[in-house]
Structure 1
Amino acid sequence: MTPRTLLLSSKRAARYLEQGTGEPLVLIHGVGMQAHAWYPQIEALSAGFRVIAVDMPGHGNSDALDANAGLRQFVQWAIEFIEALDAGPVNLAGHSMGSLIAAGVAVTRPDLVRRVAVLNGVYRRTPEARQAVLQRAAELSAGAIDVETPLRRWFDDEEAQRAAAQKVESWLRSVDPQGYATAYTAFATGDETYADGWRTIACPALVLTGSDDPNSTPTMAAQMADAAQNGNAVVIDRERHMVNLTAPEKVNSALRAWLQVEPHESAMKHSNGIVRPLHS
């Protein structure tokens, strides 16, 4: 993986990792993570694609946005980044907060997006779920960073998950607190921002989550896929929020299938089913 930096039109620096050649595949991670959080996908998909994993603003080595930035400002940042790549329409995938950004770009600038993939995304939270994330955002803004709670929520005690959990813990402990709080607040308040726009997404849209993710639920995935004009929902059994790290082979298989769907097929709406790949 080669680290690179782009200066965006806003004069902010965006740091990213690049590997492979071919159609560009841009990956945007979730809150508290960094570009390296896509390492299983970078390694697997760079055999056929130019994989570009970018640090979200205020994460890794990318410059932060203003402290009061909302989801629309993160989407504008992603638009600037894609334009600065000057690679034409890209395949765009996001995880968690990154999925909200990816969907926002697909809604507002479809000319920049060849295909869109949403991993462990949120869509029209219940009032109870929204209150829980708003409380977490307030705690982060006040300087209280709790690493242990998300780790318990995202990973189990199986030996196969320990290595991924250790990496995630190191990223959470190293993230800039202000950048973390800004992104999480945008995440907490952004699930409705582009929800109505899903019906305008015409490119191939993959919506993937884990069956045991209580916040990015299978129901949300089905709703997003059904709203899109060419959407497909994939639910991976017995997996949680960090599914790209805990079930990388299944996630990579779903991403490869999505990357093979020709964009022109989006002109015809087809039935959306929840597909469960091989059981864990």
Structure 2
Amino acid sequence: MRSLYRKPAGEILLNEAYNATLSSWKVNYESMYVSTTYGQTHIIAAGPVDGEPLILLHGYGFSSTSWVDNIEPLSAKYRVYAIDFIGDMNLSKTTKVIRTKEECTEWFAQVMDGLGIGSAHIMGLSYGAFIGMIVSRLLPDRIRSLVAISPGGAIQPQRKSFFLRCMMAGMLPSTVRIQRLMEYMTAPGNQVNPVVREQFVIAMQNCLPQVRLHAANMSDEELRAIECPVLLLLGEHEVQYDAKLGLQRAKRLIPHLQGEVIAGAGHGLSLENPELVNNLVIAFLQQNTGENKTDSIREQAI
């Protein structure tokens, strides 16, 4: 299998950048690996061990450390597991590449099993939200609720301009080109935590992701099959597709959905306006806290 790293020194540089961002976390955490069919999955855990489990799925090209501005309030009550998606630019170690939605779901279920989690809430950003929507459909009995922030594809096809900008930054990863990509995905006037930005630049310049399951528009049937409560958050300045059209389609198809387009925000919504996102997410999770909450919602729908 092709190495994750463009050059031998890449692993050292990525680890240094990863740890630099992680050192900015303001909570106590544990670092661990879970063995799966697809390799060793790295996870950062925080919060009370008896809290309801909340799984975080990061955006493409980032890692679990990117939740630096969200982790403190989320882990105050919930047992948070921030997962490094296997094959992406992080500390997970791939032995078999994930290529299909079914393989992704198998990997996710194995991670949950390895952590001893029967069911959990999920919160994902961009590609992570896309993954969250996949597993919510294919593992309905194990997902209590889903927070989907700027989901990659899923609710609308991605614009060619978005795809091309991302592809060019990956093929020709100069510092200027990568920084311009981040500025393009961020609404005017907003800032992303500098350590997260720096890690993204270093990762892009030193890694070649092994992700083969690409974010894509989900069918009407797939969206209708997401049974759990869903909070969908989109930025007014979303660049991958029209946010209002995406919200309209999601509201029409996903049975138990709350959705909102956030003014003054772009694609990196939870990175740009973490305080607002944290407040909205916690309020939503509190509505759906409890072992039997999801079951009761399903019973009402029957």
Would you call these one fold, judging by a TM-score over 0.5? yes
Counterpart of 1:147 (choices 178, 186, 211) is 178
Q: Is the 8 A contact 1:6 1:15 kept in 2?
A: yes
Q: Is the 8 A contact 1:95 1:120 kept in 2?
A: yes
1:70-109 CA-partner distances (Å, limit 9, x unpaired): 5554343222212221121000111100011000000111
Q: Is the 8 A contact 1:94 1:119 kept in 2?
A: yes
Q: Is the 8 A contact 1:151 1:165 kept in 2?
A: no
Residue number in structure 2 paired with 1:174: 202
How far apart in 2 are the matches of 1:194 and 1:236? 25
* 1:209 maps to 2:234: yes
Q: How does 1:1-280 map to 2 (within 5 A)?
A: 1-10=28-37, 12-21=39-48, 22-57=51-86, 58-64=88-94, 66=96, 69-121=99-151, 122-126=153-157, 129-136=158-165, 139=168, 143-145=171-173, 146-155=177-186, 158=189, 161-162=190-191, 164-175=192-203, 177-179=207-209, 182-183=210-211, 186-187=213-214, 190-193=215-218, 196-216=221-241, 217-261=243-287, 262-263=293-294, 264-268=296-300
Q: What's the offset of the Cα at 1:210?
A: 0.9
1:116-154 CA-partner distances (Å, limit 9, x unpaired): 11100133544xx4433554565467x323412322113
Query: 4+ runs of 1 displaced by more than 6 Å?
Result: none
- Aligned pair count reads 258
Deviates more, 1:103-112 or 1:36-45: 36-45
Q: Which AA in structure 2 matches 1:6?
A: Y
> Secondary structure of the residue that 1:178 maps to in structure 2?
coil
> Secondary structure of the residue that 2:181 maps to in structure 1?
helix
How far apart in 1 are the matches of 2:266 and 2:74? 22
How far apart in 1 are the matches of 2:136 and 2:33? 21
Q: What's the offset of the Cα at 1:195?
A: 5.3
Q: Is the 8 A contact 1:19 1:51 kept in 2?
A: yes
With over 3 angstroms needed to count, the CA separation of the structure-2 counterparts of 1:133 and 1:233, relative to structure 1, is same
With over 3 angstroms needed to count, the CA separation of the structure-2 counterparts of 1:100 and 1:52, relative to structure 1, is same
Q: Is the 8 A contact 1:25 1:51 kept in 2?
A: yes
1:13-48 CA-partner distances (Å, limit 9, x unpaired): 111211112000000000111111112221111111
Q: Is the 8 A contact 1:107 1:194 kept in 2?
A: no
1:177-236 CA-partner distances (Å, limit 9, x unpaired): 221xx43x633xx32356531111121111111111122523213322431111111221
Q: Which AA in structure 1 matches 2:112?
A: I
How far apart in 1 are the matches of 2:64 and 2:98? 23
With over 3 angstroms needed to count, the CA separation of the structure-2 counterparts of 1:223 and 1:5, relative to structure 1, is same
Q: Is the 8 A contact 1:210 1:236 kept in 2?
A: yes
Q: Is the 8 A contact 1:210 1:218 kept in 2?
A: no
Structure 1 vs Structure 2 CA RMSD: 2.6
Q: What's the offset of the Cα at 1:65?
A: 6.1
Q: What's the offset of the Cα at 1:69?
A: 3.0
How far apart in 1 are the matches of 2:102 and 2:164? 21
- Ranges in structure 2 where 5+ consecutive residues have no aligned partner: 1-27, 288-292
- Ranges in structure 1 where 5+ consecutive residues have no aligned partner: 270-280
With over 3 angstroms needed to count, the CA separation of the structure-2 counterparts of 1:73 and 1:149, relative to structure 1, is farther
How far apart in 1 are the matches of 2:132 and 2:278? 18
Q: Which AA in structure 2 matches 1:116?
A: L
Q: Is the 8 A contact 1:230 1:266 kept in 2?
A: no
With over 3 angstroms needed to count, the CA separation of the structure-2 counterparts of 1:73 and 1:193, relative to structure 1, is farther
Q: Is the 8 A contact 2:178 2:201 kept in 1?
A: yes
Bigger-Rg structure (1/2): 2
Q: Is the 8 A contact 2:227 2:256 kept in 1?
A: yes
